[in-house]
Amino acid sequence: MRYIPSTEKQQVEMLKDIGVSCFEDLIQNVPKKFRLDKPLNLPPALSELELEEKITNLAKKNTDFYSTKPLIGAGAYRHFIPEAQKSLLQREEFWTCYTPYQPELSQGTLQSMFEFQSFIARLTKMDVIVPSIFDGASATAEAALMALRLTHRNKIIISKLIHPHYLKTIYTYLAPHHIEIIELPCQDGLTQMKQLEQILDESTAALIVQSPNFLGGIENLSQFSEMVHQKKALMIDIIAESMSLGILKAPGDLGVDIVAGNVQSFGMDLNLGGPYNAFLATKKQYIRQIPGRIAGETKDARGNRAFVMTFRAREQDIRREKATSNMCTNHNLNVVAANIYLSLMGTEGIYQYALLNAKMAHYLEKKLLKSGKFEKIFNYPYFNEFLIQYKGEIEELNQILSNHHFLPPLAVYPLIPEKKYENALLFAVTEIFNRNELDHITSILS
C-alpha cells in the first residue's frame, strides 16, 4: 500500500528483532474478547483514480458554487482570494508540520503567528492578540468565559443581534457555570440601549455586542463601552465580517476590552462553514486570563531575533484543569492564510476592498428600493450587509436568483421567527460582484 512503506518481509524481520513470534504477541493487553476477529465491514480500498472519481461525483451533487455568487453572508463571506496566497499555502512546510513546540524548527509558523498578531493589533487597536480560536462562535464563548474569570462576576448581557450560532454556542459553553444570561433586544436593527441601563449592575461581568451585527447594523460601541465601564464591567465586541475593519473605527478606539473576531473574510474559502478562524484581542493587563496560543518575540542562543509560543503557563498542557481553556489544536494554518492575505492586501488593499464592499452594498440596496419590489425595514448604518423587505414571494425570488446562478440572500425568519421578519432578506455584497451583475440582479427581481 503506497502510504505504508514497510514490506511484509521487513515486518517479519522487525518482529524477529523485537523477539516475538507474531504480531498478536504485541497486543496481548487487548483482551481477546475485544479483539476483532474479522475485518471491519467497510468498502474495499479504492485506487486513487477510483477515489477521485467517486468524490468528484459527490462534489458534483452540489450546485456549481464556483459560478454561483452568493448574495448571502450571515457569518460566512465569499471574498476574492489572490492565487498567490493559495499557492503559498500549499508549501508543505506550512501544512504538514505540528504545533510549533520546537521553535528551532518552526520559525515559519511562529513568525507568521506574530505577524498576524501585529496585523490584528493594528486593525483593532488592541494590545494582545490570540491568533487562533476555532471560529467566531467559540471565540465569543471564550471571550465570555474570560470576562467571567477577570471580573469574578456572574452575569453576562448579550445583544440578541449577535450571530444566532454564536449566541447558541455561548449558551452551550456557559450552561455548566450557573451564569445569568440576559439578552438585549433589537430596536431598528440595532441593539437596544435603553433597557441596558436597567440591567447593568455590579454583578455584570460583560456586555457582548456584535458590530456590524447579525442584521448588518453598525452598533454604537463607544456609547455601550461607556455605560459598561461605569459598572466596571467589560465590553466585548464581536466581529463576524472582519473586512469591515478596513473602514470602520477600530474597537480599541471605542473603549472595547475584548474583541472576538471571525477572520474568515481574510483569505478563507466558505467550505460549508469550516475551517475558519477567529482571533481574541484584549488589553495587556488581561493577558493572563486569555485562552489560546500566543507567539512572542525573544532571542536565540546566537543573539538573533526569534519567536516562541509564550505565556504558556495559561495552557492546558501545563495547567491542566486550571488552564484558561482546553484549547490545544486550533486553526493555525488559517492564521498563515490570513497573514498572507493581509500582506498582499496591505494598508491600501484592505481599505479599498472594504470601501468597495460598502459602496456596492449600498448601490444594490438603492437599486432594489428603486425597483419598487423592496422596502426598507430599518434606517440603520450598515457595512456590506443589509436587511430589506421583499414584497413578493421569497420562494419565487430564490428560484429566480438560482436560475440566474446567484445564491439567494438569507431569509432571516427561520432564524429569528418574528412577524416583522417574515419577508425580510439579509443581502451581503462583496467585491466579487460587479456593476453588471448587481444591475442584472435588480432587473431579474423587478
Ligand X SMILES: Cc1ncc(COP(=O)(O)O)c(C=O)c1O
Residues that bind ligand X (CB under 6 A): 328-329
127-to-259, 283, 285 alpha-carbon distances in Å: 11, 5, 9
Task: Convert residues 347-366 into a mask of x (bound to another protein by CB under 8 A) and - (unbound).
Answer: xxxxxxx-xx-xxx-xx---
- Contact set for another protein, span 278-317 (CB under 8 A): 284, 287, 293-302, 304-308, 310-312, 315-317
The least CB distance from residue 222 to another protein, in Å, is 8
Task: Convert residues 178-197 into a mask of x (bound to its own copies by CB under 8 A) and - (unbound).
Answer: --------------------
Grid cell of 44 as nine digits: 474495499
87 binds its own copies (CB under 8 A): yes
Grid cell of 302 as nine digits: 546566537
Amino acid present at 93 = E
| Closer residue to its own copies in complex, CB, 82/103 | 82
348 binds its own copies (CB under 8 A): no
Grid cell of 349 as nine digits: 488593499
CA 175 to centroid of chain Cα atoms: 22
Identify which of 253, 266, 269, 325 has the alpha carbon closest to the alpha carbon of residue 292.
325
**Residue 285 interacts with which of its own copies, ligand X, another protein, none, CB < 5 to 8 Å by class:** none
d(CA 399, CA 68): 13
344 binds its own copies (CB under 8 A): yes
**Residue 432 interacts with which of ligand X, its own copies, another protein, none, CB < 5 to 8 Å by class:** its own copies
| Closer residue to ligand X in complex, CB, 105/328 | 328
The least CB distance from residue 316 to ligand X, in Å, is 8
- Contact set for another protein, span 50-69 (CB under 8 A): 50-52, 54-56, 58-66, 68
Antiparallel, parallel or unpaired: β 305-310 and 410-411: unpaired
Task: Find the part of the chain contacting another protein (CB under 8 A) among 78-86, 146-154, 188-196, 225-233.
Answer: 78-86
Antiparallel, parallel or unpaired: β 406-407 and 234-239: unpaired
* 217 dihedral zone (left: phi>0; alpha: psi -120 to 50; beta): beta
48 binds its own copies (CB under 8 A): yes
181 binds another protein (CB under 8 A): no
- Contact set for another protein, span 382-421 (CB under 8 A): 382-383, 398, 402, 407-408, 410
232-to-228, 258, 290 alpha-carbon distances in Å: 7, 14, 18
| Closer residue to another protein in complex, CB, 166/202 | 166
Listed in sequence order, the residues at least 6 apart from 282 whose beta carbon sits closer than 8 Å to its beta carbon are 126, 127, 128, 146, 257, 258, 259, 290
436 binds its own copies (CB under 8 A): no
| DSSP bridge partners of 277 | none
446 binds another protein (CB under 8 A): no
Of 21, 152, 197, 321, the one binding another protein (CB under 8 A) is: 321
The least CB distance from residue 185 to another protein, in Å, is 21
d(CA 121, CA 335): 14
d(CA 440, CA 406): 11
166-to-162, 171, 443 alpha-carbon distances in Å: 7, 9, 35
H or E segment and range at residue 370: helix 332-371
272 binds its own copies (CB under 8 A): no
| Closer residue to another protein in complex, CB, 176/372 | 176
100 binds another protein (CB under 8 A): yes
Grid cell of 48 as nine digits: 486513487
The least CB distance from residue 330 to ligand X, in Å, is 8
| Closer residue to another protein in complex, CB, 230/298 | 298
Which residues in this chain contact its own copies in the complex, by CB under 8 A? 2, 48-50, 52, 56, 66, 80, 82-83, 87, 90-91, 344, 431-432, 434
